[in-house]
Amino acid sequence: MKLAKIALGLAGCVLAAGPAHAVLDNAKAEAMMKKDGCAACHAVDKKIVGPAYVDVAAKYKSDKNAVAMLSKKVKEGSTGVWGPIPMPPNAAVSQGDITELVTWIMTLKK
C-alpha cells in the first residue's frame, strides 16, 4: 500500500511537470513550419523576412532559457531583435507546436 502511494505521487509529479518534448526530425519540422505558416518568413539556412533558424540557434546557443523565451516571442510576437520588421504574434498556433519547433531550432548548427 505504501509503495502504491509513492508510485502514485511520483506519477502526479511527472504529470504536473508537463510533457517532455521530443526533438522533431527534419521532415516533421519542415511540415510543421509549412502548416503553421513559419515558412512564409523563415528558412532553416537563409534569411527571408525573418532570420534563418540556424542563426537563431547560434545566437541563443548558450542561453539555458532560450526555448521558453523564444517560444514566448513566437506566440506573442516580437520586434527589434533581428531588425525593424516585426514578427507578428502567432496566437492561433498551438503552444505544443511552438515549443516543439523552437526545441528543434535550437538543435540546428551552421
Supply the pLDDT for residue 100.
96
Q: Above 80 in pLDDT, residue 11? A: no
* Torsion angles phi and psi, residue 106, rounded to 5: -70, -10
Supply the pLDDT for residue 24.
85
Q: Above 60 in pLDDT, residue 82? A: yes
Mind listing the domains of the chain with CATH numbers?
A: 22-105 (1.10.760.10)
Whether the model clears a pTM of 0.85, i.e. scores above it, the answer is no
Angle at 78 between CA 72 and CA 80, to 5 degrees: 140
Lowest pLDDT segment from 23-27, 73-77, 102-106: 23-27
Instruction: Give the model confidence (pLDDT) of 19-67 as tens digits.
Output: 455 678 999 999 999 999 999 999 999 999 999 999 999 999 999 999 9
